[in-house]
Every structure is written in structure tokens, then in C-alpha cells.
Structure 1
Amino acid sequence: DAGYATGHFGKWHVGPVKKDSPTNPGGMGFDEWLSHDNFFEMDPVLSRDGGPPQKFYGESSEILIDEAINYLEKKKQAGKPFFTVIWFGSPHEPYSGMETDLALYRDLPQKYRDVEVILTSNETGERIKRSQREVLIERYAEITAMDRSIGKLRNALKTLGLRDNTLLWYCGDNGTPPSGLTESRFRGFKGKVYENGIRVPGVIEWPNVIPKPRTSTVNTVTSDILPTLCALAGVQIPEIPLDGVDLVPLLTGEMTKRSEAIEFWSFRGSRFYKGPPKPYIDPKFQKGTTPLVKKMGGLFTRNFRNDHHPEIRELDFMGPRAILSDDFKLVIDGDKGTGVELFDLKKDIGEKNNLAEAHPDIVEQLSKQLRDWQGSVMNSLMGRDYK
């Protein structure tokens, strides 16, 4: 609506990317896409604008960036502003890498050799045990290729004369899995609501607005991207409940505290209900077409499900959950038997000192905020916000 060309490149993970899927990138507003239903490794198989999957030979991050640069060049020639989304497949197990990148890490400490980790086999797609040292070599090679690709994109923006007035926003989507985790000052890992599961890198480059490098201690989350980009594009935010806040004041150096808490919840889903699920979308449109190395449900592809939630029950509010304010973080059932935990992350980033007994008033306040937010999520899940 604001006149931007829109393109998506890489991992989609919202639904199949095939042409007849109502949840493909086109169904979500993208004019063009070169995408995969889920994640991918070397020599990825991708679909262009919903067409038949096609194998691209080479390192996947470099392939995505080359395609994205071609897209940007066309939009510049057409005099069209652009919104371009690049979701890398890296780093993600099962890991792989180019030999030149793997060679950079052959001298990793031998202490990791005797540590066994569980991950997917590139050969069988099944879960196997491997030496963490070999896994780390491959993981770091993927990160190196991704880093190099981002540098290529930045150079291309400069060459095209687009760098100064292009907002380049990089962030991770979740924490490090056990297979890639060694020493860390954070607690937990991917899938947990402790810091190693939710704290990820966030880097924004926009020379016209951020002329000098700086860091911020304000907590932000990927839910902030939508209201921020709407504000920058002059588009009104949809009048439905949304998480996230407008970060434009943060970009301009005016925001020093966050106005709203950030919540996290490992929702259990509808699997505890008896009877067949009622799908929102015909299952035939939910079948994946782009192949995976990892076997899922006995298939080398990802089939998706979007089922109606039958009713809201007290059981639905269970599961690991957390709320992060400017001063404290409340964690409920973060691990088996941990119960209620309260941390002051400014003094205890490792989440070692539980302050729940010392501050029952804060626990009560944050618990209510968290429960209210869960209720809002459940209302959305039931479709009450979208009628």
C-alpha cells in the first residue's frame, strides 16, 4: 500500500511456498520470492514464485544474497523503493560448509572431540550422535559463509548508491541449540525461555539516521519489526491486538526505556484434546514440496498444520513462559521443577540468583501481566481478534 516492491528470499516456515498454497509468500504480500518451505543446506532446492522446486548449486547463503542483489538492481533501475526479506538457512543443523570455510576451524580445541551431541545426519536424515568438535567446525563454517554474504550485500548497496538511505536490519530468530553450544555466560539453550534460548544478536545499519556506531540496552523483540516498519513507511498499523512497539525513537536515539514488557511462551498446542482436529486450511494445500535433509514425520519434506483450537481451558496456560520488563524477568516452569523464578538481568545475566521470595510484589505484578497476555494470545488463537 505504501508503494514498495516486496521480495522474499530463503526460509519461509509459515507454510508451503508452492503456488496454490494460501500461506505462501505471495499470500502474505510478497510480489516475488525464491523460497523454501523450511530450512536448507548446501545446494538448496528453492521455489521461484511458487513454481516447481529447482536445485541451486553452491553455498546457500551466497545463493540467496546473489539473487537478492539481482532483485535490488532491477528495482533501482525501475525507480522502485523496496522491502526485501532474506531468511538464511544457516546456521541450522544438519550443518555443512564449503571446504575453504571448514578449513578455517580445523584447529578447534581437542577438548570438544570427546563431547557427543545429537543432531540430524546429512546422509540419512535421522538423529545420530557425533563429536561436537566436528559439528562445531561445520556450524562455524556456515556462520562464516553467512557473514561473508552479508558483507557482499552491504558492498552491493554501496555500489548501487543505496547504502545511506537503506535500513539494513539483521537479527537471529532463536538461541543456540545444544549441538552448537559450548561455554556461555547465559542459561539454557534453544527452545528454553532462559536467555540462551531467547537472547539473539540484533544489528541495524542506516547511515542517514545512525551516522555513528552505538549500542543500546533497551530490550527489543522481532515483534517490534512490524510496527516499526509501518511507522517508517507511513502505513497505519492494523487495528487488531499486536505485540511489539515502534522502535523509530530508538533508531533516532530518543528511546532509553521500553514502554511494554516482552513475553515468551512455549505453548503446548491442541494435542491434548481428543477427537480429530479441524483444520483451518485444506490439508492438500499444506503439503510441502521443497525437500529437506532432515526427515520429518517419515518424510523428507515439511507438511504444515493449522488447526482450530476447540476451547480455552486452564491447561492451555501451562508450559514454560517468561515476561521481561525493563528491570526484571519472571520465569515460570522454565525447566522441570524450577517453579517461579525472578531475575534482575542487569546484575545477573546468567539467571543464577532467584529473587522471587525477596520480591513477592513484583512476582505478583508480572505474573498478572503474563497471564493477561496469554489470554490475549488465546483469544487470537480462537479467531476472536480477526472477525
Structure 2
Amino acid sequence: MMFRLLLLVLWSWVVSETAAQSPNVVFINVDDLGYRDLGYMGSSYYETPNIDRLAQEGMVFTQAYAGAANCAPSRACLLSGMNTPRHGIYTVGNSDRGDTRTRKVIPASNQTVLADSIYTLAELFRGQGYVTGTFGKWHLGDNPTTQGFDVNAGGSHRGNPGKNGYFSPYNVDHLPDGPEGEYLTDRLTSEAIGFLQANQEKPFFLYLPYYTVHTPIIGKKELVERFDKKETTHGQDNPIYAAMTASLDENVGRLLTEIDRLQLRSNTIVVFTSDNGGIRDISYQDPLRAGKGSYYEGGIRVPLIIHWPEKITPQTICTTPVSNLDFYPTFQSILNVQSEEEQPLDGVDITPLLLGKEITERPLFWHFPIYLQAYHPTEDGGRDPLFRTRPGSVVRLGEWKLHHYYEDDSLELYNLNKDLGETTNVANDYPDVRNKLYQLLTNWFKSHQLDLSFPKNPDYDSEFEQQQKTKVLR
């Protein structure tokens, strides 16, 4: 008995000492923020001086990717470190989107909750003595406090704040109403600042998944009026969306200012990114093709800044492709802990990149065996005017990217160095490259034991489908 007690005391001491030496982590995960919706990424219409300053002080990744092209699966990838086939979350709600008469196959089933058996990133931090808090959108279950977070403000199954939901009284769960007219982005930042103040003497993992800039598009009146008078650029001209982006930037500034005031910056890693690409009908990401829900670059390539004083050289740019699947093994490495034996991880440790070194080139995979209907057929930039994407998988290796669609077993190959907009399919021009990437996909399918024998949909009507395509493109 005495020996067990001694071991427990020793383990507690080891955990507390490890935590004391490890950096705090602030992870800002914006909802539906497009790749080019920031000043430092080239936008002249949106105003993001605080985020631009963070980019100057840290490392900017120009080829960062989400693990999926829409909200829930991307977040599941981030929090679990596992790609979509492992956790089974492919989309929000049902997988058979769109008119059944336009779907050739029956899609895979979809999970809507991250299984409790998965050891989340929050549980990883908490297991090392960190206090953990999340402030905003969870979207993977009813309450993130069951999956590693000590504090939750505003997180539940809900994927957006609902009608008029950006102003108090709110519609979101686990967040008491504030004064009438209080703005949700302001409130979540205030909650996060309160968490910082309460835990400044402890190591912390602060996850800040803002609901903004997800629909409904609602901004503060004075900001909307300001941007309504500003000169726009092609495809970036929505003053309400610009107002939301400005509020986001203001609140990132508030948070960073408080970190500085509490003298925490030198031992705090700050990550700023988006959960997936932006909605093209709201904001263009040209030259990237398409947007949220698509597996062209506009749907999965995201902004990413990492700031880590005395480790990352300021004003550095990383062009190596990375994924949000990489954060889990990277934080494991920083914390110097091993993963759960039963939980495989699909990313890699990118700490060497942060320290100015290289990592071995590896393929990146996406698997989306379901349907997502179009937002706006003539604006989406997708392969099909009826859907943002149909069932398929994608692999990227180096400059090459291959799409495989299951309905017709078709392949699209693009050289991203020469054709970032994925405008010209060169699958027939480079058969060796096409076959190499296709074999990578095939091997990946086998390693994940994926069943790709999609049953034909008995309700499919090719004539009706063609009529619908003609109708929506008029």
C-alpha cells in the first residue's frame, strides 16, 4: 500500500514538473475563414492588422490544409489526430445530400459525434497537468467537458449560432445571455480572457473555435457601414462579411494584448487557423478553385500562423504542405509524451519545420465518400453544378494532386505548381504520375480497410439529373 502511494506521489510530481516546463497553447480555430480573407494573405478589402502582426512575429504556412472540407469532420481530425475513415465523421448530419434522383450511388454512413473512446487532444493536454478550456463551437457532441475540457463556454452539437445569433440573447448552449446586443465574438473572447486570468499560474490549453465567420452573416452596424463605403475587389465585396472579419481581428488583438499583460507570451504557443475553406458565394479565394465543401484547393487550403517565441524565427514562411492532422503528434512531441497505444495517428510531427528544419515529403490524403449539395451552382466553382462534391478521395504528393470520383471511377490530375486553380486535368498527359498517385490511394484504402463498393442508387434518374443541371445553369 505504501509503495503504491509512493508511486502515485512520484507520478504526480513528474506530471506537475513536466507541465511547468511545457509551453501554454492558445489555439484559435476560425469557422469558414477563407485562405485569402486576411491582409497578410493578400486581401486589400478585409482589414486584419492584429492577425497580420501575429503573422509578422511568427511563421506563416502557405500550404496548410484542413483534414476535411467542412466543419465537423475537420474538427474531428484536429481533435483526434485521425483521418476521416478512422472516426467516421464525414459531414454535418446526413450523408445523402441533394435530390436522390441526382445521386448515382448510395453514400457511406456518417457519424455525428466523436466517440468517447477517442483520446482527444484536450485529454492529451489534461493528462500532462494542463488546465483545458474551450470557448465557442464544438460540433462533435453535446458537451466537450466529457472529452477532455475542464471549461466550456458555448460549445455543443450546434454548428452555427442560428438566426440573429451573433447578438445577445444568444441561441448557443452553455453560454448565459449577456447584455442585450452584446456581440458573440466579443463575448467568447471575454470568456477566454477570464480563463487566462484565472489560470495564469498554471499550464493551459486554450481552444478558441469562434463561431465567426460562419453563416448567418451578421456584423456590427458601424463596421458594416464602414466597409460599405470602402472600395472592393473582385469577389471580395461583402461589407457584412468584412465587418465580421474585422471583429474577429479586433478580438484576436484583445486576446494577444491580455497574454502580453499577464506576461505569458514568452512561454505560449499561439496557433491561428481555419477549420476549412471559405464559402465562395460569400468571398472568392482566387486563384484557388471552389470553396467550403469542395476538395479543390479552395475548400481545404487554409490560413495558418504559428507563433512560438524563442523557437520560431519571426517573419518566416513555410511552403511545406501540412495538415491539421499534424497538430496532435506535434503537441505530443512538444509535451514529450507517447500516444495511446490503441489510437493511431495520421499526421506527423512538424516541430522540425517550426525550428527551421525540413521533414520528409509524404502524401496527404482526404476521403469523402458522401454528397454535399451546391450552395450556388454558378458561383461554387465545383466539378458539378448540383454538388460541391460527390463521393471521392484525394491524394497530394509534392506538386501533384489526384482526385478520384467513385460514381464514374474518373480521375483528375493537377500540377499545383503550374495550375494552382486546378483548371486543366492532365491525367491523360502524365500517366506515370497518375498511376503512381492512384497506387498511393489504393494502398491507403487497403491500410484503412475501406469498402469502396458503393451500391447503385435505385432512385437515380439520369434524365432528371441532366434537366436539373440545365435548369440551375440558366
The Cα offsets for residues 271-327 of structure 1, whole Å up to 9 and x where unpaired, read as: xxxxxxxxxxxxxxxxxxxxxxxxxxxxxxxxxxxxxxxxxxxxxxx8132111123
Report what 2:202 is aligned to. 80
Q: Deviations over 1:207-260 (max 9, x none)?
A: 2211421111011111111111111112212333221111111110112x5542
SS in 1 for 2:260: helix
The answer to whether residue 350 in structure 2 is matched with residue 247 in structure 1 is: yes
Residue number in structure 1 paired with 2:160: 39
- 1:329 maps to 2:401: yes
TM-score normalized by the length of structure 1 = 0.71
Distance 1:377 1:154, change over 3 A: farther
CA contact (8 A) 1:36 1:45 kept: no
Equivalent in the alignment of 1:294: none
Cα drift, residue 201 of structure 1: 0.3
Residues 1:107 and 1:258: Cα distance change in structure 2 (over 3 Å): farther
CA distance in 1, matches of 2:393, 2:218: 33
Verify: 1:28 aligned to 2:152, yes or no.
no
Cα distance in 2, alignment partners of residues 13 and 183 from structure 1: 25
Using the TM superposition, give the Cα deviation of residue 110 of structure 1 relative to its aligned residue in structure 2, in angstroms.
Answer: 8.6
How many residue pairs are counted as aligned between the two chains?
Answer: 297
Report the equivalent of 1:367.
Answer: 438
The equivalent position to 1:101 in structure 2, one of 223, 228, 231, is: 223
Q: How does 1:169-248 map to 2 (within 5 A)?
A: 169-182=271-284, 184-239=286-341, 240-248=343-351
2:462 aligns with none
8 Å contact from structure 1 (residues 328, 342) kept in 2: yes
1:189–1:337 distance in 2 versus 1, CA, 3 Å: farther
Partners of 1:378 and 1:67 in 2: how far apart? 43
Query: Hey, what's the Cα distance between the residues in 2 that align with 1:159 and 1:235?
Result: 31
What is the match of residue 66 of structure 1? 190
Residue 204 of structure 1, CA deviation = 0.7
What is residue 262 of structure 1 aligned with on the other side? 364
The residue number in structure 1 matching 2:212 is 90
Unaligned runs of at least 5 residues, structure 1: 18-24, 116-131, 270-317, 381-387
Per the TM alignment, residue 108 of structure 1 is displaced from its structure 2 partner at its CA by: 5.2
Shift of the alpha carbon at 1:378?
5.2
- Consecutive unaligned residues in structure 2, runs of 5 or more: 1-126, 372-389, 452-474
TM-score, normalised to structure 2's length?
0.58
- The residue aligned with 1:383 is none
Deviation of 1:92 after TM superposition, in Å, equals 0.9
Counterpart CA distance in 1 for 2:443 and 2:207 is: 32
Asked which structure has the greater RCO (Cα within 8 Å, sep 6+), the reply is: 2
Secondary structure of the corresponding residue to residue 322 of structure 2 = coil
Aligned Cα RMSD in Å? 2.6
Q: 1:268 to 1:2 in 2, by over 3 A?
A: same
Q: What's the counterpart of residue 24 of structure 2?
A: none
Please tell me whether the aligned partners of residues 135 and 209 of structure 2 are also in contact (alpha carbons under 8 angstroms): yes
Q: Which amino acid aligns with 2:280?
A: P
Aligned partners of 1:379 and 1:341: how far apart in 2?
A: 21
* Alignment of 1:319 onto 2:394: no
Give the partner amino acid of 2:403: V
Secondary structure of the corresponding residue to residue 427 of structure 2? coil
